[in-house]
Amino acid sequence: MKWMLQPIGIALGVIILIGFFLILGGQYLKFSEEARVTPTPVPQTPVITEIPTPEPTPETTIPTPMVTTPPPEPTPRGSYAEDATPIRDPSPYVLPYYSTVYNPKGQYFPTIFHKSYNMDFQYEAVYAEVVKAPLIIDFAVSPESSSPIRSFFLITIRDNETQQLLAQDGFFRTYSSNSPKRFYFSSPGKYHINMYGGFVNADLTLRAPNA
């Protein structure tokens, strides 16, 4: 009997070894298969790299040359007259009054000033600039009283730049009661016409040629 057990034991050992090797072989094949399978990569969220927007290159602007336009030359105003600041001087002067009957035929000079005054012991004045002679000054006086002391009118012409007295005339007091009267100046210039009176109405007209 003993001799029979030995072969059986050897056979069992062989079987056990074969089973062990089979188990080892299966594990090896399993690991080999897993090694051959390529793992699926985990999807990653793409990182967007921001590309900086290049700043626009400024365009080269050709500078516009500055053209200086000279101011227009002033248009000559010509002869004119306007209200002015009066001179408070009631004195009569012994001066040529330039009264004329100047009225040549075919010549009529434009009116550059006309105004009526109610003189009640106040001063009035007119500035006249004449660029071409003559200057003609007409004035007419209507008294409110027949008394030469109560109603009066005085008109004095001066050179506006030098204040030189050029002429004087009037109504009543030291002057006649004639009306209208006229001044005639044969030179261009700048004239100051001063008036003073009381209890009269005076009408003043200035004429001169256009420039």
Residue 39 is assigned to a structural domain of this protein = no
**pLDDT tens digit string along 27-62?**
555 555 554 555 565 666 666 666 666 666 666 667
Query: Could you count the other beta carbons within 10 Å of the beta carbon of residue 134?
Result: 18
86, 154: one domain: yes
Which one is predicted more confidently, 155 or 210? 155
Q: What is the 3-state secondary structure (H, E, C) of 118-161?
A: EEEEEEEEEEEEECCCCEEEEEEEEECCCCCCCCEEEEEEEECC
Distance separating alpha carbons of residues 41 and 200, to the nearest angstrom: 122
116, 201: one domain: yes
Counted domains in the chain: 2
Lowest mean pLDDT among 30-34, 65-69, 79-83: 30-34
Encode burial over 88-125: b for 16+ CB neighbours within 10 A, e otherwise: eeeeeeeeebbeeeeeeeeeebeebbeeebebeeebbb
Which one is predicted more confidently, 195 or 54? 195
103, 184: one domain: yes
Taking residues 138-148, report their average pLDDT. Answer: 92
Q: Please give the residue range of the domain that contains residue 2.
A: 1-31
111, 178: one domain: yes
Which one is predicted more confidently, 198 or 16? 198
Query: Could you count the other beta carbons within 10 Å of the beta carbon of residue 68?
Result: 5
95, 164: one domain: yes
**pLDDT tens digit string along 84-113?**
999 999 988 888 766 555 555 557 899 999
pLDDT band at 160 (very low <50, low <70, confident <90, very high): very high
160, 95: one domain: yes
- The torsion defined by the Cα of 182, 92, 157 and 99, in degrees rounded to 10, comes to 20
pLDDT band at 167 (very low <50, low <70, confident <90, very high): very high
Contact 208, 136 (CB under 8 A): yes
